[in-house]
Amino acid sequence: TSIDVKKINKDIISIISGRTTIISEEFLREASVGKVNEAVASLMENLLTSRQRELENSVRNVLDWGGTSGTDTVFGVILGSHLMLIDIDYNSNKNEGIFRL
């Protein structure tokens, strides 16, 4: 069974209009096609490279965004990373994954 990431992204984008701020809508649209700003890219890089001090700084930087936007973003990056790692671990011997990009 595979998860169609592009379809999920498309579905999310199709329902966000008016449910968040215009800025958040644009961030989500860009992220759905793999485009993120420097702060999110830094967070993702530091999460993968296990540099604790840099990771903590990246998390704090993103958490400073808006009312809940930063928390939502950090949660999304961590959840996405976790799901990808589970997929890699589970399917490492099968040479396949559940995520279809």
The pLDDT of residue 91 = 59
Given a cut of 50, the residues of the chain with pLDDT beneath it are 101
Where do we find the tokens 């860009």? 30
Tokens, residue 38: 């420097």
pLDDT of amino acid 81: 82
Backbone torsions φ then ψ of 96, nearest 5 degrees? -150, 170
pTM of the model: 0.71
Instruction: Spell out where the chain has E strands.
Output: 3-4, 99-100
The confidence score (pLDDT) of residue 96 equals: 55
Of 6, 73, 69, 9, nearest to 36 by C-alpha is: 73
User: Which pLDDT belongs to residue 85?
Assistant: 75
pLDDT of residue 101: 47
Backbone φ and ψ for 20, nearest 5 degrees, come out as: -150, -175
